[in-house]
Copies of this chain bind each other. A is one copy, B any other.
Amino acid sequence: MCRWLAYFGKPVRMDKVLYGPQHSLIEQSLHSRLGAETTNGDGFGIGWYGADGTPGVFKSMEPAWNDRNLRDLARHIESHLFIAHIRATSGTAVQQTNCHPFRYGKWLWAHNGVVHDYANVRRDLLLAVDPALFPLIEGSADSEVLFFLALTLGLEADPPAAVARVIGLVEQIGHAHGVEFPFQGTIATTDGERLWAFRYSSEGRSRTLYYSSDYDTMRAMYPDDERLLDFDQSTRVVVSEPLGELPGMWNEVPESSWGVVQPGRGELHPFRPAVPAHA
């Protein structure tokens, strides 16, 4: 159910990252190896930050693998920070409003995973969204509601704390509906300056998540790989599954963790859902 990729670092033509690698995200849309589904053909989306700091979004309900617009746009747009997502629906409609990344102001949000028994908890989750944000919900996917819950619970001020509250709330509401393991998945979110990634599931067996090694280390290991010249020390890529099989290139984000990519040194921390205040 879905794969995503988040790029942070030296401005680069997006196709270098999306199409270039050996096992690229676009190739994963046809042949994912680590996903719950091998095919992620129920739409895709890409959100990128331009020179002015605001994100653009391009979405389609068609499969990514043969999409000519995506190929052309990726070839002609350069960005220092972007999120791409390919979708395999767990049941909700195949439509642009269910494609990731979701956007609010300068924020983007992508999710791979599922709120279990979503049909039954959806109403309660929607009720927890700030009524002022409610009119902005356009699709029917759980991932979009998670985003608006995060905005409701403080995403703009403190993303890790807000996501902890969202997942705590999802678990509380899920348990109240008899769902044993309410949340599953990985999340990427960014305000255009920093990039946060989360890996967590209620059952402790979460969807996979990887981040690229330090640039200098990669250059030392692969001094002849010309593709690395497109990037630099500021570059970090976070992905649902590795984009290739170069040993030493990809590192697994540990179970129940969150990390932040930012100018300077990134961080990696344990993740724990927050119990809602009124619980």
Which residues in A have some Cβ–Cβ distance to B below 8 Å? 30-31, 38-39, 41-42, 48, 50, 54, 56-63, 65-66, 68-69, 72-73, 75-77, 89, 92-97, 119-120, 122-123, 126-127, 131, 134-135, 137-140
On whether A131 and B135 interact (CB within 8 A), knowing A39-B41, A75-B56, the answer reads: no
The interface centre, meaning the residue of A48, A68, A122 with most chain B CB atoms within 10 A of its CB, is A68
Given contacts A92-B138, A97-B93, A123-B131, contact A63 B63 (CB under 8 A): yes
Given A62-B61, A75-B56: A96 touches B119 (CB 8 Å cut-off):
no
How far, in angstroms, from A61 to B68 measured CA to CA in the complex?
13
Supply 26 A–B pairs (Cβ within 8 Å), ascending by A: A38-B38, A39-B41, A41-B65, A42-B66, A48-B76, A50-B76, A54-B76, A56-B72, A56-B73, A56-B76, A57-B72, A61-B62, A62-B94, A63-B63, A66-B89, A69-B69, A76-B77, A93-B95, A95-B95, A95-B96, A119-B135, A122-B134, A122-B135, A123-B126, A123-B131, A123-B134
A135 vs chain B, min Cβ distance (A): 4
Interchain CA distance A96-B73 in the complex, whole Å: 15
Nearest-neighbour CB distance to chain B for A106, whole angstroms, equals 13
Would you give the shortest CB distance from A81 to chain B, in whole angstroms? 13
A28 to chain B, nearest CB (A): 12
A137 closest partner in B (C-beta)? B140
Q: Are B93 and A72 in contact (CB under 8 A)?
A: no
Given A39-B30, A39-B41, A139-B140, check contact A69 B58 (CB 8 Å): yes
Chain B nearest CB, measured from A50 CB (Å) = 5
B residues less than 8 Å from A30 (CB atoms): 39
User: Chain B's nearest CB lies how many Å from the CB of A104?
Assistant: 14
**When chains A and B are docked, how far (Å) is the Cα of A118 from the Cα of B249?**
40
Q: How far is the CA of A78 from the CA of B200 in the complex (A)?
A: 40
In whole angstroms, what is the CA distance A39 to B30 when docked? 7
A95-B97, A97-B93 as given contacts; A58 in contact with B72, CB under 8 Å: yes
Instruction: Report whether B89 and A140 are in contact in the complex, using a CB–CB cutoff of 8 Å.
Output: no
Chain B residues positioned under 8 Å from A61 (CB to CB): 62
A120, A122, A123: most-surrounded residue (chain B CB, <10 A): A123
Question: Which chain B residue shows the least CB distance to A127?
Answer: B127
Known A-B contacts A57-B72, A62-B61, A93-B97; the reply to A39 vs B39 at CB < 8 A is yes
The interface residues of chain B lying within 8 Å CB-to-CB of A72 are 56-58
Residues of B within 8 A of A39 (CB): 30, 39, 41
By beta carbon, the residue of chain B nearest A57 is B72
The answer on a CB contact under 8 Å between A58 and B73 is yes
**Which residues on B sit within 8 Å (CB–CB) of A75?**
56
